[in-house]
Amino acid sequence: MGAQILFFLCAALILISAIMVVTVRNLIHAALWLIATLFGAALLYASLDASFIAVVQVVVYIGAIAIMFIFAVMLTRRELLIKTDQTNANWPLALGLSAVMLVALGYVIGGFGVTLNTTPAAIPAGVDPLTLLGKALLAPEAYVLPFEVASVLLLAAMVGAVYVAMNKK
């Protein structure tokens, strides 16, 4: 029962902060709400005894990507933040599409017969989950290519942000 309460509290944190990410007018505030969303996901990972993934969520996503996003916004949009309105005019369309996706996701999850009382399977005693994760991420037949592509894309985004910031001066 306590695990379900923790899950619902984390889910509420994630949903509320995710809604705030897309509804606040200030980009810096949106980035801070994104950090709260990512922290809620880290709490969910920790509640599932996936401590390594929870730490990676905090270090990589909150510590690196969200902070890089804040720096990129500060570098490239300083004048734009002051001069222009931060509201997207297409927010009703986005809200409608989000509602459709929520209904579709609920339909798909309901089709699999998932119940609220389902608990994850216990990890067998002789299995090291970190070794399995390392093999899955770095094995050539597994996820090494998407892992490396994501790192190159993040590097390209940072170089692009620095180039745009330096080009305006």
Question: Which pLDDT score is estimated for 82?
Answer: 59
Question: Which pLDDT score is estimated for 133?
Answer: 78
pLDDT band of 38, cuts 50, 70, 90 = very high
**Would you identify the CATH topology of the domain 2-90?**
Four Helix Bundle (Hemerythrin (Met), subunit A) (1.20.120)
Q: Cα 59 to the chain's mean position, in Å?
A: 12
Which residues make Cβ contacts (< 8 Å) with residue 25, sequence separation at least 6?
85, 86, 87
> Lowest-confidence range among 28-37, 54-63, 86-95, 148-157?
86-95
For residue 14, give the nearest of 77, 75, 61 by alpha carbon.
Answer: 61
Question: Which pLDDT score is estimated for 120?
Answer: 67
Provide the mean pLDDT of the chain. 81
Which residues make Cβ contacts (< 8 Å) with residue 6, sequence separation at least 6?
43, 47
Can you spell out the DSSP letters for 104-147? HHHHHHHHTT--TT--PPPPPTT--HHHHHHHHHHSTTTTHHHH
Helix (H), strand (E) at residue 49:
none
Q: What is the mean pLDDT of residues 121-142?
A: 79
The yes-or-no verdict on residue 121 having pLDDT over 70 is yes
The yes-or-no verdict on residue 80 having pLDDT over 80 is no
Can you spell out the DSSP letters for 55-114? HHIIIIIIIIIIHHHHHHHHHH-HHHHHHS----TTHHHHHHHHHHHHHHHHHHHHHTT-
More confident residue, 48 or 71: 48
Question: Which pLDDT score is estimated for 84?
Answer: 60
Question: Which pLDDT score is estimated for 22?
Answer: 84
Q: What is the mean pLDDT of residues 7-18?
A: 92
Let me know if 13 is exposed, middle or buried by CB neighbors in 10 A (0-12, 13-18, 19+): middle
